[in-house]
Amino acid sequence: MPWWSYALVAAVAASATAILAKIGVKDVPSNLATAIRTAVILVFACCVALATREHHSLPSLKFRAVVFLVLSGVATAVSWLAYFKALQMAPASQVAPIDKLSLAFTILLAAIVLGEEISWKTGMGTALIVAGALLTISR
């Protein structure tokens, strides 16, 4: 499958996540809900890594890669904890678009940290995403 197929699967799954989490977080403390979700992800991801035999790569991992993966995990944890708390406090239809502002932040950080260029199309698309997200919170 091409990369965009995986990205599309990720987007559809992420949209289901918002709805399923909104239903699941009702009457459950948000941090506990995040812990349950994370435990499921841990087991699922480990099973996939074992099934695809990728666990054999563990001894050859470079320290730098592990450090950045750990930092990415910390960022994910902060994101999920805040996301579940927001879902408890507001409608999913408002929380999800604000959460998706991560796309705009990713494009900006990719330019600053990774030196990726921002085309005028990407800039315009990003501006529209930001405008759309802001429109969803002004009801």
Confidence check: pLDDT of 139 > 70: no
Q: Do residues 53 and 76 share a domain?
A: yes
Count up the domains in the chain and report the number.
2
d(Cα 39, Cα 49) in Å, to the nearest integer? 15
Q: Do residues 27 and 69 share a domain?
A: yes
CA 107-112-114 angle, to 5 degrees, is: 80
Q: Do residues 11 and 73 share a domain?
A: yes
Average pLDDT over residues 86-92: 91
Which pLDDT value is given to residue 7? 87
pLDDT tens digits, 57-82: 999 999 999 999 999 999 999 999 99
Q: Do residues 36 and 11 share a domain?
A: yes
Tokens 């995986």 appear where? Answer: 6
Average pLDDT over residues 16-32: 91
pLDDT class of 103 with cuts at 50, 70, 90: very high
Domain limits for position 127: 100-139
pLDDT class of 137 with cuts at 50, 70, 90: confident
Q: Do residues 70 and 120 share a domain?
A: no
Q: Do residues 107 and 41 share a domain?
A: no
Q: Do residues 53 and 16 share a domain?
A: yes
Q: CB of 117 within 8 A of CB of 111? A: yes
Query: Please, what is the average pLDDT of the chain?
Result: 92
